[in-house]
Chain A
Amino acid sequence: MTVRERLREKISAAFYRHGLLCASYPVPIILFTSASILACCYPLLRLPLPGTGPVEFTTRVRDYTVPSHEPQGDLGEQPDWYRGPPVAYIQPVLVKAAVSPWDSTLVPVDVFRSPLGRVFSLLEEIRNHVHDDGSLEALCLQVTDLLPGLRRMQRVLPEHGCLLVSPGNYWQNQRELFDSDPDLLKTVHQHEPKGLHTSATLRDLLFGVPVKHTGVSLYSRKRVVTYTITMVLGSYDARFLSSLRARLRQLHPSVNCSLREDHMVHVHFKEEIGMAELIPLVTTYIILFAYIYFSTRKIDMVKSKWGLALAAVVTVLSSLLMSVGLCTLFGLTPTLNGGEIFPYLVVVIGLENVLVLTKSVVSTPVDLEVKLRIAQGLSNESWSIMKNMATELCIILIGYFTLVPAIQEFCLFAVVGLVSDFFLQMFFFTTVLSIDIRRMELADLNRRLPAEAGMPLPKPGPLRPREAPPPPRPSPHTITLQTPAFRNLRLPKRLRVVYFLARTRLAQRFIMVGTVIWIGILAYTDPAGLRTYLAAQVSEQSPLGDGGAGGLPPHLGVAPVFPGPGGDPVGTLSVLPAPAEPTPLPENQSQGHHGAPGEGVPLVPQISWGAEDEEGWRRLSFRHWPSLFSYYNITLAKRYISILPVIPITLHLSPREAIETRHPQDTRHPPPPSLKTNDLPADLTLYKVAALGLAAGVLLVLLLFCLYRVLCSRNYGQNGVAHGRRRRGDLPCDDYGYSPPISEISPLLLCGHSMDIECLASDGMLLASCCLAGQIRVWDTQTGDCLTVIPKHGLRRSSSSGCWEQRDGWDAVGVAEPENLGGGTEPGGGVFDEGEGYPLRRRTTPRPALFENQPDLTPLIDTNFDSQPPSHLLLTPPRDGFDFGGLVEKAYLEHEPPSPGLTLRGNLIAAGRSNGKLEVRPNPESTPLHHGKRGGSHNEKAGNNICKRRVSLWDAVEGSLRCSNEDGVSGITALAFLNNRIVAARLDGSLDFFTVDINKPLGLLQYRGPPGRSNMPPSPCYSSEDVISCQLTRSVQCAHQKPITVLRAAAGRVVTGSQDHTVRVYRLEDSCCLFTLQGHSGGITAIYIDQTMVLASGGQDGAICLWDVLTGSRVSHVYGHRGDVTSLVCTTSCVISSGLDDLICIWDRSTGIKLYSIQQEVGCGASLGVISESLLVTGGQGCVSFWDLNFGDLLQTVYLGQSSDGQGVRQLVVLNNAAIVCDFGSELSLVYVPSVLEKLD
């Protein structure tokens, strides 16, 4: 056991060091690995390329003997397949025939009818040739039945006899049938397969030359017919063959033929892969791909998922290549079919280790250095990797002892592959992984420290704020505008593809290029098209042919085809050794007796023999011979045939003979091919083809354009003119050429404050703002009118002058103010009376130490007096609180040690506002009361406000609070008001539950109704006789170990978050603690809960947890931010979080996958709001941006003022009538979103 432990430790340490090494020197290691891969793969160059093409071997005819079966070691150059007799010997007899001289009285059919007719006599001659005792019957390959599937070829191909193939087979080798055939071309064509065909056709088989070289066509210009009589011999008899050759030469001398006759070619055919073998192979490959797919799908949490998947696949593939290469290097030649065993090898080697490595490295703490992360990840998994590898090696070694050669070979490959795979994983993949992770970290660095982005600093950015002092924030006025390229927006793939297409106009260009190419190909390859036309232009004589060579345009530079009196007979375009040939002039002249030379009948078709005729079978499909033999169920796979040198035959037929052999119907064919009439249709066809192609292309373009428009109905780039206000030309969506539909949104500027706006609050109708100067203004959100101005000092007076009851209330609150607000914002001048204030003051004193952890609630204002939807409001308070704490740095620092008691100031302001409202409302006495209560349900602190309203009440509540305080409980850090209960969280982690009873004679039950309604009736008249009592019903001591930082209430639950890293859920009715949710590794900074029981929490560790409120289980847990999560909002489909890193992340709620993130400008990080289910609004430098939540599209950016520089939007409040309010320096901006209004309805 100890040995094992020690081994394990050693392995782990070794892996740790290795990880450090890999992450420290990525580039040299990758170079080294690539070099070793290449070195190991080098021996593979010597292996033959896989493929099924035939291979050749040439021997001399003279001393040919049938090779023996036994391998002969001495003949080094002989391939190993050249053993034993071939399947067959092929003796081609190449016939070239022409009617010469060409007479103008001849019809086109004469070009090939009589030459083809001569095949029968030739066949007869060949069949009857006897030398010594040998005849063709004895030598040739005897074939039996055709395959059953070839009934239609039965009449054409020979059966039960010699395999002798010639064009005569079309007519069953009977001259009579040929003579009585009215249309030869039709006979030939009727056996052609319809449609596309890839292998050899019957016509190729019978003619033995490619179709276009046969010259059997009405429009043949050379008027030379070429065909082959193919004899397939079963055994080789040199004497018989040479005598046959001599006989044929003697009968039909080919005068200018200089074909080499001394070499025979042996062609070896590889194994054919049939469909039946392909199906299992394909199946294994499909399984392989599924395996790779399912494996790589698991790679996650890295910078580039696909890059890593590619690296993993490359690792496995190159390890296989290395194994084959190494095995070859040490003398083992692979005999297995590589393609067959390859999937199994991949599966055996597997991708598991790679995935395990990735997972392990990714799960290391994010804030570690990259090196350490890699090293840790490696060492964590080292033991399991080694164990797995040892197991696999054992299994394979067992396989090696099965003593089956094939399995042994497989196992050998697998062992070497495993080892090299391990090597590659350790060096190649680990390094790639480290680079990938470093890229991720660098990307984060780039965001945070734009100035240092270029530095190759592997360290992560500033550490958690708990350990490090809070990063110095630049004041809002010195902010440098960040390059918006850092706004790393992830669009959905579909949109990205569409944008890409739209940006590059790829589709259109592709279609255009395709059309042009297509038309070109059409025009070029059409039988009557450009190519033949050009060829004719080049090789054909100018019309009428009477003048001969003299009329030839010299600039063509091509020798005339037709002979003048001393014309060059071989000057055709064929690849001839033309300059060397003119010497055999005498023979050339001698052939003249066939035609009538020099008579002015000029057209003598030339028969020329060139090098390409020597091995004419090369121009055929390489499947020519296998398909011929396969018709008789003879396979050529892994066997070879020997092709003997061709026997050339030249036939010249006289016009008279041609006319004699005519069929009566032949003359009914189109009139003689006068060049004029022949050229014209060709030209017409050319034009027709061009026009047709053009029309088709245009049609295609139109069709695709329509398709394009239908698929992408949005108008890309059509509204480009209306972009006057959109100056963010560099936003991602602009990169994609997409400009969203613009509906003009003009912000309404609310001016009046003299200094920067500090805080904002609103219900639907009224908007209250407070500036640094302490002035409070109340605005009407519909019109933008300033309803009330509450100056710093006037506040108190007005309120105190209102009525004395109220004044008492104010006084009670006012006590807290001086210390909270310090200088500037202090309302001052308040009447400090009685002792009520002092306890408050005492309460605040012990707090300074907690300050960093506490949300600064300084700016809390609440105007929600009227019917405000609590669910809506529940979203806003946390934002207010936290935004401010983070953002109003200056004011914050000026303050004396702030305290949660500051909240009271919020009350105060609220009261002041309600005081202001008193001026507009007819019923000054009672409205504040109710408003205060309503507001209290949304703003935690306003709860106290109610109590302060009525002296009696205030006293009651204050008294109880004081009592608890005096019990040693510290101050209130957070308050929540739900239904008729007030929950107060205290610094020492205890929770107090109060019940508010309203005894109202007029039956005010409606106000006690559940606060979840947004459409409460506007407050009717209230009487001032309401009696409100607030009693402490229950106090939970030590609800948390540390101060409670967040308190939220909704749906009958109270959720608290604390510095002690836990979240607790209480039931509102009986104050019973339902769950303690653990999962954060830092203090809780944000909580979201709404009516649908969605609970999300964010902590100082940058983590966001989603919880199931019913079961208390954690649904998902994601790390989203560096630094605190400052606010959280959930919609039905996603979670939106913002952090101190000025990043807004949008997560999929069900899967916890980060959909995309939006980089905010510095200081605007927390300014976000959700207007509707799919519309997100964020603040920026002098503008607000609207985003489509579903796709992450930037819909619109609205600029708040003429000068967009300087002021950033730090606060943003969404009103329930689809307007947003944001601060803009010393002004307020009210932006209506008209389109959303409709959506909300």
Chain B
Amino acid sequence: MPRLEEHCWRRSCTSRVESKNYYRENWVASKAEEMMSIITSVLSNVYGSLHSVQTANLIRRGLVLFTVGVFLALVLNLLQVQRNVTLFPEEVMATLFSSAWWIPPCCGTAAAVVGLLYPCIDSHLGEPHKFKREWASVMRCIAVFVGINHASAKLDFANNVQLSLTLAALSLGLWWTFDRSRSGFGLGIGTAFLATVITQLLVYNGVYQYTYPDFLYVRSWLPCIFFSGGVTAGNIGRQLAMVTHYHNATLTIHENRK
């Protein structure tokens, strides 16, 4: 009985969490997500071992992060695409998917990796992240991240140095406001560095190019965006991990009781 109750509770909680995250996900994705969660919960029921529950949680968290990443990539890419838009919806859809198809999945995967890496590193370092651990703060973080992108796309700066410096300050402010952990900072820097190098390589090999490259082959504000993106994804990932961790703890108690 307690297990059943627990199961129901966990299901409802996670589905709630998920639904909060998929505001505008398309139907197929959410359905697939639902199917996945059903499958994983069935699996966890069958095996009943804590291990499989953890795996299922991992998968679910990864999926959530992936969808968030894809969604943000689409929207933010749209911000970067020129605003010379006509009135016809076909055109809009064209601009929405105008960039290469592999960009959103890549961003989604990156978000999932980073978002799973953060809580993992936290637990390995043995210093769980306690600062502002609530969904409201996470939402605030996402909003600031989108705002940084918005600023980089729409504001007219005098020169690129100014733009990059501003964005760097904003990214640091984001980290200070919502993270404040050494591991978060390190991981953010690492993400930014890796992503910038990868972009450089891609551009160097001619996969695509930037309009006005000013930092070797890419824009100089790119690392700042990657840094704040990493921090944001980590924030989401930590919040998700906290929810599931809490569930695991209660589940353990229940199993012990039995």
Interface residues in chain A, defined as those with a beta carbon under 8 Å from any beta carbon in chain B: 147, 149, 272, 274-277, 279-280, 282-284, 286-288, 290-291, 294-295, 298, 340, 343-344, 347, 350-352, 395, 398-399, 402-404, 406-407, 627, 630, 633, 635, 1093, 1108, 1110-1111, 1132, 1150
Q: Assess whether B36 is interfacial by the CB under 8 Å rule.
A: no
Q: A276 and B96: CB pair below 8 A?
A: yes
- Chain B residues with CB under 8 Å of A633's CB are 86
Q: B78 and A276: CB pair below 8 A?
A: yes
- Chain A residues with CB under 8 Å of B87's CB are 272, 274, 627, 630
CB-CB under 8 A for A277 and B85, given A290-B139, A294-B135, A404-B162: yes
**A302 → chain B, closest Cβ, in Å?**
18
Given contacts A290-B139, A291-B143, A404-B157, 20 further A-B contacts (CB under 8 A): A274-B85, A275-B89, A279-B75, A280-B75, A280-B150, A282-B24, A283-B23, A284-B150, A291-B136, A291-B139, A291-B140, A294-B136, A294-B138, A294-B139, A343-B143, A352-B136, A403-B158, A407-B155, A407-B166, A635-B86
Q: Assess whether B88 is interfacial by the CB under 8 Å rule.
A: yes
- Chain B residues with CB under 8 Å of A274's CB are 83, 85-87, 92
**A1037 → chain B, closest Cβ, in Å?**
32
Interface residues of B in 145-165 (CB under 8 A from A): 146-147, 150-151, 154-158, 162, 165
- Chain A residues with CB under 8 Å of B135's CB are 290, 294
- Chain A residues with CB under 8 Å of B165's CB are 402
Q: A149 and B90: CB pair below 8 A?
A: yes
Q: B173 and A284: CB pair below 8 A?
A: no
**A563 → chain B, closest Cβ, in Å?**
48
Provide 29 A-B residue pairs closer than 8 Å at the C-beta atoms, listed in order of the A residue. Answer: A149-B91, A274-B83, A274-B85, A276-B83, A277-B83, A277-B85, A280-B75, A280-B146, A283-B75, A284-B146, A290-B139, A291-B136, A291-B140, A294-B139, A344-B147, A344-B150, A347-B144, A351-B136, A402-B166, A403-B162, A404-B156, A404-B162, A404-B166, A406-B156, A407-B151, A407-B166, A633-B86, A1132-B1, A1150-B5
- Chain A residues with CB under 8 Å of B146's CB are 280, 283-284, 287
Q: A350 and B85: CB pair below 8 A?
A: no
**B68 → chain A, closest Cβ, in Å?**
11
Complex Cα spacing A275 to B93, Å:
9
Interface flags, B154-187, vs A, CB<8A=1, else 0: 1111100010011001100100010000000000
Interface flags, B124-142, vs A, CB<8A=1, else 0: 0000000000111011101
Q: Assess whether B257 is interfacial by the CB under 8 Å rule.
A: yes
Closest residue of chain A to B74, judged by CB?
A279
Q: A287 and B139: CB pair below 8 A?
A: yes
- Chain B residues with CB under 8 Å of A403's CB are 158, 162
Interface residues in chain B, defined as those with a beta carbon under 8 Å from any beta carbon in chain A: 1, 5, 9, 20, 23-24, 75-76, 78-79, 81, 83, 85-92, 95-96, 134-136, 138-140, 142-144, 146-147, 150-151, 154-158, 162, 165-166, 169-170, 173, 177, 253, 256-257
Complex Cα spacing A644 to B175, Å:
59
> Which residue of A287, A298, A404, A1150 has the most chain B CB atoms within 10 A of its CB atom?
A287
Q: A276 and B136: CB pair below 8 A?
A: no
- Chain B residues with CB under 8 Å of A350's CB are 140
Partner of B143, one of A276, A279, A287, A351: A287
Q: A295 and B157: CB pair below 8 A?
A: no
Partner of A286, one of B23, B96, B154: B23
- Chain B residues with CB under 8 Å of A279's CB are 75, 78, 92, 96
Closest residue of chain B to A282, judged by CB?
B24
Q: A287 and B142: CB pair below 8 A?
A: yes
- Chain B residues with CB under 8 Å of A291's CB are 136, 139-140, 143
- Chain A residues with CB under 8 Å of B92's CB are 274-276, 279
- Chain A residues with CB under 8 Å of B86's CB are 147, 274, 630, 633, 635
- Chain B residues with CB under 8 Å of A284's CB are 143, 146-147, 150
**A1155 → chain B, closest Cβ, in Å?**
16
**B10 → chain A, closest Cβ, in Å?**
12
- Chain B residues with CB under 8 Å of A627's CB are 87
Q: A344 and B143: CB pair below 8 A?
A: yes
- Chain B residues with CB under 8 Å of A635's CB are 86
Q: A276 and B155: CB pair below 8 A?
A: no
**B36 → chain A, closest Cβ, in Å?**
23
Partner of B140, one of A272, A298, A347, A398: A347
Complex Cα spacing A908 to B178, Å:
70
**A277 → chain B, closest Cβ, in Å?**
6
Q: A398 and B157: CB pair below 8 A?
A: no
Closest residue of chain B to A623, judged by CB?
B87
- Chain B residues with CB under 8 Å of A287's CB are 139, 142-143, 146
Complex Cα spacing A351 to B134, Å:
13
Complex Cα spacing A54 to B89, Å:
23
**A335 → chain B, closest Cβ, in Å?**
12
**A1065 → chain B, closest Cβ, in Å?**
15
Q: B140 and A1111: CB pair below 8 A?
A: no
Complex Cα spacing A1132 to B5, Å:
11
Closest residue of chain A to B156, judged by CB?
A406
- Chain A residues with CB under 8 Å of B140's CB are 291, 347, 350
> Which residue of B86, B88, B151, B170 has the most chain A CB atoms within 10 A of its CB atom?
B86
Q: A286 and B24: CB pair below 8 A?
A: yes
- Chain A residues with CB under 8 Å of B154's CB are 340
Complex Cα spacing A290 to B135, Å:
9
- Chain A residues with CB under 8 Å of B75's CB are 279-280, 283
Partner of A1108, one of B136, B139, B162, B253: B253
Q: B173 and A395: CB pair below 8 A?
A: yes
Complex Cα spacing A282 to B139, Å:
15
- Chain B residues with CB under 8 Å of A343's CB are 143
Complex Cα spacing A298 to B85, Å:
41
Q: B150 and A283: CB pair below 8 A?
A: no
- Chain A residues with CB under 8 Å of B90's CB are 149
- Chain B residues with CB under 8 Å of A272's CB are 87
**B253 → chain A, closest Cβ, in Å?**
7
> Which residue of A407, A1111, A1132 has the most chain B CB atoms within 10 A of its CB atom?
A407
Complex Cα spacing A276 to B89, Å:
9
Q: A347 and B95: CB pair below 8 A?
A: no
**B113 → chain A, closest Cβ, in Å?**
23
Complex Cα spacing A462 to B169, Å:
57
Q: A347 and B143: CB pair below 8 A?
A: yes
**B182 → chain A, closest Cβ, in Å?**
20
Partner of A1111, one of B156, B169, B173, B253: B253
CB-CB nearest 3 A-B residue pairs: A291-B139, A294-B136, A275-B92
Complex Cα spacing A1150 to B92, Å:
49
Complex Cα spacing A288 to B139, Å:
7
Complex Cα spacing A149 to B94, Å:
12
Q: A290 and B95: CB pair below 8 A?
A: no
Q: A276 and B85: CB pair below 8 A?
A: yes
Complex Cα spacing A2 to B142, Å:
39
Complex Cα spacing A1132 to B24, Å:
39
Q: A283 and B24: CB pair below 8 A?
A: yes
CB-CB under 8 A for A294 and B88, given A277-B83, A279-B75, A280-B79: no
**A64 → chain B, closest Cβ, in Å?**
31
Closest residue of chain B to A1110, judged by CB?
B257
**A1108 → chain B, closest Cβ, in Å?**
7
- Chain B residues with CB under 8 Å of A344's CB are 143-144, 147, 150
Complex Cα spacing A1012 to B96, Å:
68
- Chain B residues with CB under 8 Å of A407's CB are 151, 155, 166
Complex Cα spacing A1111 to B140, Å:
37
Q: A404 and B155: CB pair below 8 A?
A: yes
Closest residue of chain A to B95, judged by CB?
A276
Q: B23 and A298: CB pair below 8 A?
A: no
**B89 → chain A, closest Cβ, in Å?**
6
- Chain A residues with CB under 8 Å of B1's CB are 1132
